Amino acid sequence: MSSEWEVSELGKEAINASRPFSFKERPNVIFVNTGDVLGGKFLHSNISESKGLPGQAKKALRKNDILLTEIRPGNGRYAYVDFDVPNYVVSTKFMVIESLGRVSPKFLYHALTNQAALNEFQRIAESRSGTFPQITFDSISHFPVSIPPKEEQEHLVKFLDALDDRITLLRETNATLEAIAQAIFKSWFVDFDPVRAKMEGRTPEGMDEATAALFPDSFEESELGPVPKGWRVAPLDSAADFLNGLALQKFPAESEDDWLPVIKIAQLRKGDTAGADRASTSIKPEYIVQNGDVLFSWSGSLEVEIWCGGAGALNQHLFKVSSADFPKWFYFFWTRQHLPHFQQIAASKATTMGHIQRKHLTEAKVITPTEAVMGVANDILGPLLGQMINNALQAQTLANLRGTLLPRLISGKLRLPEAENAIAEAIA
């Protein structure tokens, strides 16, 4: 580490701010609970103006504050306040960490929320007595904080922010690509817009004559009602195989060096295997998940995602969805199409873990077009899905590299030019 870098302690460089909040002066209050932040971001869609604030709404926020949950600090409930928050009040379950000045607030944020720091806070939480793993500011006040010169702090923050922006852009691009692909799929295979247009004597919107000619101009009756003539209705589980995962506690890792991370619902939701349990590498190959596989959690939180978090072992309560007969976009979007209905079925179960059964996969139907229409759809939707997977993999690579580099950068063990070279190589 550079001789110019001083090592201090969190309690000497920051405080846990507890600012009084005047509700009379700020009538339009927005309450932020622990569920409203995740992985450094405010989940604005979940934050609502308060109508009868709960008792834990006591801490006022300011720009450049750092929010870190006291309960289960390793669960990613943290954020940096990078916008004006004149009417925000947060739960007492948060630490509101304010830099005293020597350390840039954003640099301090990176020092406290990298995975190595969060792991240490979680260890401290679990070592304390109580119902839930919990930390206090006092319990982490001796956490070491490196203090480089101000100019170097600024350079490091700029580098990390640019890396975060790149990851965010890739993920936002994917959201746009998925919306486009989903819109095309729904228009062609659910709403039958090209067929309806031809019935009315119109040219299907955004479609050339050769493509339009592949679609029928009439409907025929089916068990689902009218469907395009020549297309067929089939069960969802005839279009794809739904492989249920294993009870992987029965297949523990056989060594410290040879193991697979266990992919459970929690891993599917966050898209990576950080902190996952470990399983044997000797499980049957079909139960090993690879990047690009479609995973469907059929119990608890029902979700359908394309996995890009690296190789892992498929746990029970997850289906790996695949097909030897249909392209990935076809069974991915059809499973997604039925997801709201599956979620309703699960929610109606009188249990703590609502779920669906295999019969529901059979009852759900897909509509299969002619080979000609399937081929032209594959030419459009296949590349879109491929680009989504490539973007997700690059975002995951950058996120993993960020997690590896960040603790070394903010401790001074790694210099900025070396980190920049590592990123350049990763995205070359």
Determine the pLDDT at residue 208. 92
Determine the pLDDT at residue 28. 75
Read off φ and ψ for residue 359, nearest 5 degrees.
-60, -30
Determine the pLDDT at residue 48. 64
362-413: per-residue pLDDT in tens? 999 999 999 999 999 999 999 999 999 999 999 999 988 998 999 999 988 8
Q: What percent of the chain has pLDDT over 70?
A: 94
pLDDT (mean) for 229-237? 97
Contacts of 36-39 spanning 24+ positions with Cβ under 8 A: 37/67, 37/77, 37/78, 37/79, 38/76, 38/77, 38/79, 39/76, 39/78, 39/270
Biggest CA-to-CA distance, the chain: 79
In this predicted structure, the answer to whether residue 51 has a pLDDT above a threshold of 80 is no
**Burial profile 224-245: b = 16 or more Cβ within 10 angstroms, e = fewer:** eeebbeebeeeebbebbebbeb
Burial of 356 (0-12, 13-18, 19+ CB in 10 A): buried
344-360: per-residue pLDDT in tens? 999 887 566 788 999 99
Q: What are the structural domains, with CATH classification, of the chain?
A: 6-147 (3.90.220.20), 237-368 (3.90.220.20)
pLDDT (mean) for 165-184? 95
Q: Retrieve residue 206's tokens.
A: 């955004």
Determine the pLDDT at residue 270. 85
In this predicted structure, the answer to whether residue 361 has a pLDDT above a threshold of 70 is yes
Determine the pLDDT at residue 39. 84
Burial of 111 (0-12, 13-18, 19+ CB in 10 A): buried
Average pLDDT, whole number, for the chain? Answer: 91
pLDDT (mean) for 2-20? 88
Q: Helices 328-347 and 150-189: crossing angle, nearest 10°?
A: 90
266-292: per-residue pLDDT in tens? 899 888 887 789 999 999 999 999 999
pLDDT (mean) for 154-161? 94
In this predicted structure, the answer to whether residue 130 has a pLDDT above a threshold of 80 is no
Q: How far apart are CA 233 and CA 129, in angstroms?
A: 58
1 band by pLDDT with thresholds 50, 70 and 90: very low
For residues 21 and 1, which has the higher predicted lDDT (pLDDT)?
Answer: 21
In this predicted structure, the answer to whether residue 206 has a pLDDT above a threshold of 90 is no
21-39: per-residue pLDDT in tens? 766 655 678 888 888 888 8
Q: Is the CB of residue 313 less than 8 Å from the CB of residue 288?
A: yes
DSSP 46-87: G--B-SS--TTEEEE--TT-EEEESBSGGG--EEE--S--TT
Measured between its terminal Cα atoms, the distance across the chain in Å is: 29
Determine the pLDDT at residue 76. 86
State the pTM of this model: 0.84
Closest to 298 (Cα-Cα) out of 281, 314, 312: 314
2 band by pLDDT with thresholds 50, 70 and 90: low
Q: What percent of the chain has pLDDT over 90?
A: 73
